[in-house]
Amino acid sequence: MTDTNPGYIVVEGPIGVGKTSLARRLADSFGSELLLEGAAENPFLERFYRNPREGALSTQLYFLLQRARQIQEMRQADMFRPVRVADFLIEKDQLFARLTLDEQEYKLYEQVYAHLTLDAPVPDLVIYLQAPVDVLVGRIAKRGIHYEQHMDAGYLDRLSQGYARFFHDYDAAPLLIVNAAHVDLVNSDAAYQELLQQIARTKTGRHYFNPMPVSL
């Protein structure tokens, strides 16, 4: 990753934290290819939010196969080395699986995962957005995606804790942990420019960015 070419950036974080919106703006800033996980394309997702036990396995397998396909396409195009920004990290797929599947379902999921032999490119930078559950609930309600309105706050809390555990030990790529609780990184130019400066400085290791609160 250079000062002018950020290479491959992944924006991650729990549902409602703003990762897709930020990924879009970063891709626009860097003139890069944008890779999105395509949650709206998953035909099982609404069923999952209405009845998690009924829809968990089909939802998770769909996402796994979808992401595997995206990674394969990415690797096939790797010879051209385009700048890329994505709103998902393939390794976090297992985080969701552990959270939503029962023991037998998870064993099946693991078998499918193993046979896919996923070999994702390593990001040049991972941006992990954090925000409290009440903030996530408010942002989910504000964006008004109908099937998300069935989401339980307890699920969001367990998901946020799962992300925190995952990134506590993450060292595969440089990691920038961003407190996104009180800022709008997409619509506040001042906060966004601060973030770009932090991105340019994050070359190795683990870093924290706590921008000044901005009215949302």
Q: List pLDDT tens digits, range 27-37.
A: 999 988 888 98
Gap between the Cα atoms of 78 and 21, Å rounded: 25
Number of domains in the chain: 1
With respect to residue 2, please indicate whether it lies within any of the assigned structural domains.
no
- Please state the pTM of the whole predicted model: 0.90
- Out of 3, 78, 87, 134, which one is annotated catalytic? 87
Share of the chain above pLDDT 70, in %: 91
Q: Report yes or no on 203 lying in a domain.
A: yes
- Greater confidence (210 vs 73) lies with 210
Structure tokens at 148: 């998300």
75, two tokens: 């690797």
Q: Is the dihedral of CA 99, 102, 106, 107 positive or negative?
A: positive
Is 108:58 a contact under the CB 8 Å cutoff? no
Please measure the distance between the N-terminal and C-terminal CA atoms of the chain and give it in whole angstroms: 31
Closest listed residue to residue 16, CA positions, set 125, 155, 120? 155
Q: Is 87 a catalytic residue?
A: yes
- Which structural domain, as residue segments, surrounds residue 171? 8-209
Is 110 inside a domain boundary?
yes
Which of 175, 11, 181, 160 shows the shortest CA–CA distance to 95? 160
176 has a pLDDT exceeding 90: yes
Pairing of strands 206-209, 8-12: unpaired
The CATH number of residue 94's host domain is 3.40.50.300
| Mean pLDDT score across all residues of the chain | 87
**Residue 195 forms part of a structural domain:** yes
Confidence label for 158 from pLDDT (cuts 50, 70 and 90): very high
Residues in Cβ contact with 62 at an 8 Å cutoff, skipping those fewer than 6 apart: 42, 43, 44
Residue 70 belongs to a domain: yes
More confident residue, 204 or 211: 204
Q: Please report the pLDDT score of residue 2 as a whole number.
A: 46
Question: How many H-runs (helices) and E-runs (strands) does the chain carry?
Answer: 8, 6
Domain assignment present for 57: yes
Q: Determine, yes or no, domain membership for 214.
A: no
Could you tell me if residue 215 is inside a domain? no
Tokens 């009215």 belong to which residue?
215
